[in-house]
């Protein structure tokens, strides 16, 4: 692949997202899935760190944004779980491997398989064709979308959580490791919604008891008719502008919808907001894509 064509680039600029089929081979996808199973097999999560993942604002603040396990995950490999998979004592109600919602947020730094994919020729050619000059990786996630109860992701903009000055410097790369369909929870987008700025921000604040997060602003109610689905086959990739509104539905099918996703920032002439929940650390500064 030699990067985006002029037509594809124009489409991305107009819509704020772009579906690209056949970027990675089925074998490359299988290697990532096999690697994540090895990580799960070695998973150790203390009961007090068994955090349920949610995109509902109140649940985010309660279950994730006010816990050190989440706030300090930017330079680590940590595990976040679906709602309703623990009892009151924090014990698993289901097998751990089918209870996970996502693994984040530094697979790209600590695991050689995901580091290789993140820095792959395919990704670097895409980034070059988008005109990024000094791209850096800020976070990565493996998302499971488990059969029958893989949670919905409510409408949002990535820049809500990964804010820069100026805006427009964050790019999401979403790789389908299995077919993403209408039935198992493919992504949905509002075309052109990346042009109006952002409606809310998740910021980290310091209290007497330590760090926590809060939201500034609120997410508007979007008309469902504005969203369009983007089913994509295994090995396909979706480019996601940091301000485009997108979501995914609950997976009610018997099939999972695994994906590997990461975010790239153009660091030239860009200020990473100091109150973002995610901050680079001396142990893991934001690594350059071109390595």
Per residue in 177-219, pLDDT tens?
999 999 999 999 999 999 999 999 999 987 666 668 899 999 9
Residue 277 in domain: no
Residues 139 and 120: their CA atoms lie apart, in Å, by 16
Residues 121 and 126: their CA atoms lie apart, in Å, by 9
Q: What is the largest CA-CA distance in the chain?
A: 55
CA distances from 37 to 97, 111, 160, 247 (A): 8, 13, 31, 26
pLDDT score, position 169: 98
pLDDT score, position 228: 98
Strands (E), 157-245: 164-165, 170-176, 187-189, 200-207, 210-217, 228-229, 237-241
Q: Which of 86-90, 197-201, 204-208, 234-238 has the lowest mean pLDDT?
A: 204-208
Q: Smallest Cα–Cα separation from 101: which of 68, 59, 55, 139?
A: 55
Residue 286 in domain: no
Residue 1 in domain: no
pLDDT at 21 exceeding the cut of 50: yes
User: Which domain covers residue 92, as residue numbers?
Assistant: 6-272
Residue 80 in domain: yes
pLDDT digits (tens, 9 = 90+) for 23-45: 999 999 999 999 999 999 999 88
Mean pLDDT score of the chain, rounded to an integer?
Answer: 92
Pairing of strands 51-52, 77-81: parallel
Cα 291 to chain centroid, rounded: 22
Residue 236 in domain: yes
When divided into structural domains, the chain yields a total of 1
pLDDT score, position 278: 95
Please tell me which residue, 271 or 90, carries the higher pLDDT value: 271
Cα of first residue to Cα of last residue in the chain, in angstroms, is 19
Residue 148 in domain: yes
The CATH number given to whatever domain includes residue 186 is 2.60.120.620
pLDDT score, position 49: 73
Q: What is the DSSP letter of 117?
A: H
pLDDT at 73 exceeding the cut of 50: yes
Q: Which of 36-40, 66-70, 91-95, 218-222 has the lowest mean pLDDT?
A: 66-70
Residue 278 in domain: no
Residues 208 and 66: their CA atoms lie apart, in Å, by 13
Regarding pTM above 0.75, the answer is yes
pLDDT score, position 226: 98
pLDDT score, position 85: 87
User: Per-residue pLDDT averaged across 5-21, rounded?
Assistant: 98
pLDDT score, position 111: 98
pLDDT digits (tens, 9 = 90+) for 134-150: 999 999 999 999 999 88
pLDDT at 291 exceeding the cut of 80: no
Residue 279 in domain: no
Confidence of residue 67 (pLDDT cuts 50, 70, 90): confident
pLDDT at 16 exceeding the cut of 70: yes
Please tell me which residue, 289 or 69, carries the higher pLDDT value: 289
pLDDT score, position 206: 76
């Amino acid at each position: 692949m030699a990067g985006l064509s002029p037509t594809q680039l124009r489409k991305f600029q107009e819509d704020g997202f772009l579906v690209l089929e056949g970027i990675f081979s089925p074998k490359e996808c299988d290697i990532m899935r096999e690697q994540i199973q090895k990580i799960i097999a070695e998973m150790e999560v203390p009961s007090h760190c068994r955090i349920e993942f949610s995109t509902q604002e109140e649940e985010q603040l309660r279950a994730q944004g006010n816990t050190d396990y989440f706030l300090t995950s930017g330079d680590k490999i940590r595990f976040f779980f679906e709602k309703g998979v623990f009892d009151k004592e924090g014990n698993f109600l289901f097998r751990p491997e089918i209870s996970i919602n996502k693994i984040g947020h530094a697979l790209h730094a600590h695991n050689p398989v995901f580091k290789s994919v993140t820095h792959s020729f395919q990704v670097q050619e895409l980034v070059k064709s988008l005109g990024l000059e000094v791209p850096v990786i800020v976070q990565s996630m493996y998302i499971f979308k488990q059969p029958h109860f893989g949670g919905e992701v409510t409408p949002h903009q990535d820049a809500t959580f990964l804010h820069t000055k100026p805006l427009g410097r964050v790019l999401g790369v979403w790789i389908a490791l299995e077919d993403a369909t209408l039935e198992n929870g493919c992504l949905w987008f509002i075309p052109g919604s990346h042009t109006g700025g952002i409606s809310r921000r998740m910021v980290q604040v310091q209290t007497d008891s330590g760090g926590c997060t809060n939201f500034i602003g609120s997410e508007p109610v979007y008309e469902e008719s504005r969203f369009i689905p983007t089913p994509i086959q295994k090995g396909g990739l979706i480019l996601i502008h940091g301000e485009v509104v997108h979501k995914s539905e609950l997976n009610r099918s018997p099939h999972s919808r695994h994906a590997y996703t990461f975010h790239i920032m153009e660091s030239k002439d860009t200020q990473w907001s100091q109150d973002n929940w995610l901050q680079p650390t001396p142990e893991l500064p934001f690594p350059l894509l071109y390595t």
